[in-house]
Amino acid sequence: MSQMTHFTDEDLTAFLDGEATADLAQEIERALDSDVALQKRLEDLSLPVDELRHAMQQVTDQAPDLPDVLTNTASTSKRQASNKDIGNWIYSGSLAASILISLIIGGVFGKIYFAPTEVQGWKSYVAAYQSLYVGDTLNSIELTPEQTQKNLDNLSSQMGIDLAKMTSGSGLDFKRAQLLGFKGKPLVQLAYLSPEGQPVALCIIRTNKGNTEAIGMDELEGMVAASWRKDGYAYLFIGGQDEAVIREGAERFKALL
């Protein structure tokens, strides 16, 4: 039986960030030796290794006087690295390694990985956020009908659009709505579970463009996505790898609006 079920996403993220306790880190490391599902799960939550190794090399090339520990750490980019290697390296906790990580994430690596393309803009941020979802993220949400309606009324008022009509008639199990933001603009996420239990989300943001745009299909962060514009709003429906679920869901949502 898989051993990964007792590790939460928070546990694994803490492990990758070097913030896990020694006992938790050792337990995860032992499980990684035999649990393929856990290896994949950790890989999905971790930084992309190839870009990280390249960024590490760039930083050390520009700073030859850093302590030996940094040079030794950077030399790992010359051999085949794994997500477990990166997690162990971060966990080592040395001051010099922490400085290097700060430089990478705050500088070179931030430019390589976190900056969205001009074409994708807000959608790339939404996709990165959605990629962290698993089925249990939404299964644990339990809201009363009164709480749900109050939340929807509040968000509908802020967005200027009736969100309640998107909670039924889509063939999906509506779980929650929450207010996010992008560059000062309100951005609403409506989260659902597909009939197969896959987390999917409809995200809505105001746009200065009033034109109507047909549904376009795309792939973002390894997930199928459908996007369109209508009456001053931009929409993105995203999640999983089932193109039929996303395409049909987008068509139903567009018809409901």
- Taking residues 68-81, what's their average pLDDT? 43
Give the type of residue at 207: T
Q: Is the pLDDT of residue 243 over 80?
A: yes
Say yes or no: 69 and 127 in one domain.
Answer: no
- Taking residues 71-95, what's their average pLDDT? 45
Total domain count, the chain: 2
Say yes or no: 87 and 133 in one domain.
Answer: no
Say yes or no: 78 and 166 in one domain.
Answer: no
- In this prediction, residue 61 has a pLDDT band, given cuts at 50, 70 and 90, of low
- In this prediction, residue 221 has a pLDDT band, given cuts at 50, 70 and 90, of very high
- In this prediction, residue 248 has a pLDDT band, given cuts at 50, 70 and 90, of very high
Say yes or no: 250 and 185 in one domain.
Answer: yes
Say yes or no: 107 and 148 in one domain.
Answer: no
Query: Looking at residue 152, which CATH number applies to its domain?
Result: 3.30.200.100
Q: What is the largest CA-CA distance in the chain?
A: 63
pLDDT at position 46 is 58
Domain ends where: 114, 138, 169? Answer: 114
Q: Are 185 and 208 in contact (CB under 8 A)?
A: no
Residue 186 CB burial class (10 angstroms; 0-12, 13-18, ≥19): middle
Say yes or no: 186 and 240 in one domain.
Answer: yes
Residue identified by tokens 């290697």 is 85
Say yes or no: 50 and 172 in one domain.
Answer: no
* Mean pLDDT lowest among 2-6, 187-191, 222-226: 2-6
* HSE, side-chain direction, 13 A CA sphere, residue 147: 8
Domain ends where: 72, 88, 114? Answer: 114
* Whether the model pTM is above 0.85: no
Say yes or no: 69 and 104 in one domain.
Answer: yes
Say yes or no: 77 and 197 in one domain.
Answer: no
- Taking residues 5-27, what's their average pLDDT? 75
**Domain limits for position 49:** 4-114
Say yes or no: 133 and 246 in one domain.
Answer: yes
146 alpha carbon, distance to own chain's centre: 29
CB-based contacts of 228-233 (< 8 A; 24+ apart in sequence)? 228/254, 230/254, 230/257, 231/257, 232/206, 232/207, 232/208, 233/161, 233/204, 233/205, 233/206, 233/207
Between 167 and 200, name the one with better pLDDT: 200
Say yes or no: 49 and 172 in one domain.
Answer: no
Say yes or no: 221 and 131 in one domain.
Answer: yes
pLDDT digits 0-9 by tens, 142-164: 788 899 999 999 999 999 999 99
Domain ends where: 114, 142, 170? Answer: 114
